[in-house]
Amino acid sequence: MIQDLVAGWGAVLNIKLILILLFSVPLGITVGVLPGIGATVGVAVLLPLTFGMDPVLGICMLIAVYCGAFYGGAVSAILINTPGTPAAICTILDGFPMAQKGEAHKALTAAVAASFIGGIFSVLILTFCAPLIAKVALKFSYTEYFAIAAFGIIMVITSSSRTSFLKGLVMGTFGLFLACIGQDKMGTMERFTFGILDLSRGVPLLPVLVGLFAISQALLLTEQGARKVDLEKMERKAGLWSVFKLLGNFKMTLLKSSLIGTGIGAIPGTGAAISSFVAYSEAKRASKWPERFGTGYIEGVVASESSNNSVTGGALIPLLTLGIPGDPITAIMLGAFLVHGLIPGPMLFVESGPFVYAIFATMLVTYFLVLAYGYFGAYPFASILKVREAILVPIILVISFIGAYAVNSSLFDVGLALIFGVVGYFFTKFEFPLAPIVMGLILGPIAEEGLRQSLMVSDGSWTIFMTKPISAVFLSATVLIMVHKAYVLLFPKDSS
């Protein structure tokens, strides 16, 4: 472990990577600042940039964009009352009132300082916990993988369907159907390929991601009129050190929020918006002055930002240790790993230890850069909000084309991205969540292989899933969540 740690840091303390991070962090903050773009679309659009890079440089670049974008969401939340990313939705509650009181700079400084603390906290947890989890995961058999995949799918469905559990369920099932397309891995049977050779290896992940998250979002952006940007003035400058000293008064809030963010982030399918809500509510509940929350109280900004940034480290735990992405952003990163021939999972720690530790080290460096860029460049970043959709949309479409085309130089992939762009556009218009489709597509093959191999091992006995403790726990949790959600769906409170 120590050798890998040293080798990982060695890979990061490299002028090429440092230059890439210096460029990627502001890029991440920029995409985070722009409402409608955000971390998911930003990482999807920037993914093609990594194709020609060395794997370490490419993945670390995406990590930097990912972490930067989470802070970027706070800038627009505080200055124009619109979260750049869903994760910053609670930051609005106190951040914008602070800006209206002339404390915009103080709110932004508190946001970046809390983001820094939350981010660093989660990276430390990731660095120490991920190798331990990977060690345990090395002993997992197909049975455990089936159970974890089933749990992951149901968690994504549950958490991404704000309007209806049923819609999430439909989308998750649709994703599982997509995962069934292609040649059967344990035989030669062609499933729903219609003789198309490109489909034999299944529906490729990258065009689906580009279509669902970049092209569909670009089409949706064209519907919006010009964004009215009325930036709150920054009358008083707040010193970074004085804000850090102020944050000393909220040590418990910082600790609890960072723990909540890291913990929630580590559960597949949850995400930063949920952690932000939970941390904000907990901070308000535990506060001596709960009535101050929502009126421009700095503790609200601190709770929300430390929590949503600590999700970044947490969300990488299932991806790196089990190969199971926790949310759409880590799903896109999974795509990047696969493009570079890296398969996330416990074996990654064995075969590419230095690479894994380079990711951890990159995240630490990234958060220091977020702090520096965030403190000194908050207002220049905010001015990016003035860039019109008319300029952004065509650029997103052009880069989406490159992203879909470049991996295999295949027009089939571009066609697929176009189809999923339209599918994503209509599903979003119809208020059907997109994340479960991706999770179904990614986890479907893991679940199918796990199911079939386990049944072969047990000679067809389904009890194998309940006799192994980890599998039993995850499957029981999956069934309980399903039953609870089905009950709520069939017997809603307001109909009684």
Binding site for another protein (CB under 8 A): 48-49, 51-53, 163, 166-167, 169-170, 173-174, 176-177, 180, 183-184, 186-192, 215, 218-220, 222-223, 226, 388-391, 393-395, 397-399, 401-402, 405-406, 409, 411, 414, 418, 421-422, 425-426, 429-432, 444, 447-448, 451-452, 455-456, 458-460, 489, 494
Rounded Cα distance between 323 and 8, Å, is 20
State in angstroms the smallest separation of the CB of 305 from another protein.
Answer: 27
| Closest CB to another protein among residues 171, 279 | 171
- The C-alpha atoms of residue 215 and residue 401 are separated, in whole angstroms, by 9
Nearer residue to another protein within complex by CB, 153 or 266? 153
Distance in Å, CB of 23 to another protein, minimum: 11
Give least dist CB 72 to another protein, A.
22
With respect to another protein, which residue has the nearer C-beta, 120 or 150?
Answer: 150
Question: 219 or 259: whose CB is closer to another protein?
Answer: 219
DSSP conformation class of 215: I
Q: What is the DSSP-derived secondary structure letter of residue 231?
A: P
Give min distance, CB of 51 to another protein, in A: 5
Q: Write down the least CB distance from residue 39 to another protein, Å.
A: 21
Alpha carbon 446 to its chain centroid, in Å, reads 20
Neighbours of 214 (CB within 10 A): 31
Q: How far is the CB of 223 from another protein (least distance, A)?
A: 5
**161 or 306: CB nearest another protein:** 161
Give the Cα separation of 425 and 429 in Å (integer): 6
Per-residue 3-state assignment (H helix, E strand, C coil) for 192-210 = CCCCCHHHCCCCCHHHHHH
Q: Contact, 367 vs 116, CB < 8 A?
A: yes
Residue with smaller CB distance to another protein, 7 or 180 = 180
Supply the minimum distance, in Å, between the C-beta of residue 418 and another protein: 7
End-to-end CA distance of the chain: give it in Å, rounded. 58
Alpha helix (H) residue ranges in 267-386:
272-286, 298-322, 328-339, 346-351, 353-383
Smallest distance from another protein to CB 388, Å: 7
Only one residue has tokens 């896109």, namely: 332
Nearer to another protein, 9 or 465 (CB): 465
- The distance of closest approach from Cβ of residue 252 to another protein in the complex, given in angstroms and rounded to an integer, is 33
What's the min distance (Å) between Cβ of 14 and another protein? 17
Question: Toward another protein, which CB reaches closer, 45 or 80?
Answer: 45
Nearer to another protein (CB atom), residue 116 or residue 151: 151
Is 403 within 8 Å of 418 (Cβ atoms)?
A: no
Q: Report the distance separating Cα 87 and Cα 33, nearest Å.
A: 12
Phi (first) and psi of residue 191, to 5 degrees: -115, 115
- Cβ–Cβ < 8 Å for 124, 131: no
From 8, 24, 278, 257, select the one nearest 130 (Cα to Cα). 8
Closest approach of another protein to the CB of residue 137, in Å: 24
For residues 272 and 404, which CB has a smaller minimum distance to another protein in the complex? 404
Residue placing its CB nearer to another protein in the complex, 182 or 269? 182
Adjacent-strand bridge partners of 206? none
Phi, then psi, of 468 in degrees rounded to 5 = -95, 125
Report how far residue 276's alpha carbon sits from residue 389's, in angstroms, rounded to the nearest whole number.
Answer: 28
C-alpha dihedral (358, 360, 361, 365), degrees to nearest 10: 130
343 vs 395 by CB, closer to another protein: 395
At 175, phi and psi to the nearest 5? -60, -40
Residues 37, 76, 93, 39, CA torsion sign = positive
- Report in angstroms how near the CB of residue 276 gets to another protein at its nearest: 21
Question: Which residues, in sequence order, are CB contacts of 212 under 8 Å at separation 6+?
Answer: 420, 421, 423, 424, 434, 437, 438
Specify the length of the chain in residues.
496
